[in-house]
Structure 1
Amino acid sequence: MTSPTPPAKTPSPAGRTHRSVAGAVCGVLLLLLIGWMAGDAMIRGEGRTPWLAPAALLLLVPLVVAFTLRPAVFVDDERIRVRNPFRTIQLPWTEVADVRAAYSSELIAQDGVKYQLWAIPVSLRARKRAARSAARAAHDDPYGRTSVSADVRDAAARTASADQTVRDLRDLAEAAGGSTAEGKAAVSVRWAYEVIAPAAAGAVLLAVVWALG
């Protein structure tokens, strides 16, 4: 006699990586466009253009990567790591006071410092669409009771993606409880010199070539 199949478990918000798919797509397209324009300028450009193109490439590529491909939020049961364009912030959940989304997503540490979550952009259009979906679900039963058609609808469809992600992160922070001395020692902020250094070098090189041209 075969045992009944256990119900599927809802995936935990912990152990996930959050990125902006739209940002990544835009980043790849921008890199392709910049590469094509710079290559054309170096091959067919005249005067100082072939020299300006590599300098502009050195400046623009790190910035495009920083603002489109680099942002990510890494989550596990113990900590959250926020990778923004120019910084990487790591905090244990015990040091997270709140996670919220208004016009942008942000994390508030126990000491009151705010960190933007670039990888979780807020879409007002998606928020309005989710509000319309929620209004239609409520219209099924004006007294707030669950109706058959409301049960069929996916509840996640009535919440904007960024708002749902922020809600999951807030739940993890609340489940971790209050701050501890050990947690405070684990907070770290690291500057992304791998992005800053080449962009700064490209800016200097661009200025020098332009001045000497």
Structure 2
Amino acid sequence: MTGSSSPKAPEHADRSYRSPGGIAAGVLLLALAAWLGGDAIVRGEGRTPWLALAGLLCVVPLVIAFTVRPAVWAGEDRLLVRNPFRTVTLPWASVEAVRAGYSSEVLAAGRTYQLWAIPVSLRQRKRAARRVSRAAAEGTPRVAAAQAGPERAPADQAIEDLRGLAERGATREGAQGVPAVRWAYELIAPSVVGLLLFVGLATFA
């Protein structure tokens, strides 16, 4: 009698990291741009509607790039980093270090890539350090202290998680390879075109 075995479940599910504050700011800026630009296009006279349209074409992709777009996905075999103007795929075997100083970054194949989706907050870091020091001084049990608040700032905890995934995934067969970079021309091109149109219209007005 031959037994059948079900496929082995992945040891670590994919994880995603984004900045809620950045996304919220981006949505507000996009709404403001749509309101001001739309009003100028509808009610403006002369070259004003065209200037507003060119301005929106330049500004909207930039707002999306720096606020809504940044994200980090970590899987069993690789780290996918989506920054404002490029997307970097990093097999775990190519990752040399993941660290957070004044910014979060990953070192791979001799190059450094910023993690825009994991911003470092010195205020949150100091707050977490004070909480740990206070708990240690009061002799508060570790479990109770953890319930009162995290021992690490969110960015530091995310970096620690990624560091662990890198160490565990580096030897996997599917985690071998070199970094691959793809530029976000879908955002770069319209922004450049919008800037050129705006400058042209403003210069020859």
Identical-residue share of aligned pairs (%): 52
Q: Distance in 2 between the 1:179 and 1:157 partners?
A: 31
Whichever residue aligns with residue 70 of structure 1, its letter is R
Confirm or deny that 1:136 pairs with 2:129: no
Whichever residue aligns with residue 94 of structure 2, its letter is E
Correspondence for 1:56: 55
Matches within 5 A, 1:160-171: 160-171=153-164
Residue 202 of structure 1, aligned match among 163, 175, 194: 194
Shift of 1:117: 0.2
1:126–1:82 Cα change, 3 Å: same
Shift of 1:154: 1.7
RMSD between aligned alpha carbons? 2.0
Shift of 1:129: 0.8
Matches within 5 A, 1:15-54: 15-54=14-53
Tell whether the 8 Å contact from 1:107 to 1:117 is kept in structure 2 after alignment.
yes
Confirm or deny that 1:91 pairs with 2:84: no
1:151–1:179 Cα change, 3 Å: closer
SS in 1 for 2:124: helix
Shift of 1:208: 1.5
Matches within 5 A, 1:73-152: 73-109=72-108, 111-141=109-139, 147-148=140-141, 150-152=142-144
Unaligned ranges ≥5, structure 2: 1-10
Whichever residue aligns with residue 154 of structure 1, its letter is A
Aligned residue pairs: how many? Answer: 194
Name the TM-score, length of structure 2 as normaliser.
0.88
Q: Distance in 2 between the 1:166 and 1:14 partners?
A: 16
Name the TM-score, length of structure 1 as normaliser.
0.85
Q: Distance in 1 between the 2:114 and 2:12 partners?
A: 19
> Which consecutive segments of 4 or more residues in structure 1 shift more than 4 A?
none
1:159-209 C-alpha deviation (Å, 9 max, x unpaired): 0000000000011111234699x8234x21000001101101111111111
1:39-88 C-alpha deviation (Å, 9 max, x unpaired): 11112223321110000000000000000000000111110000000010
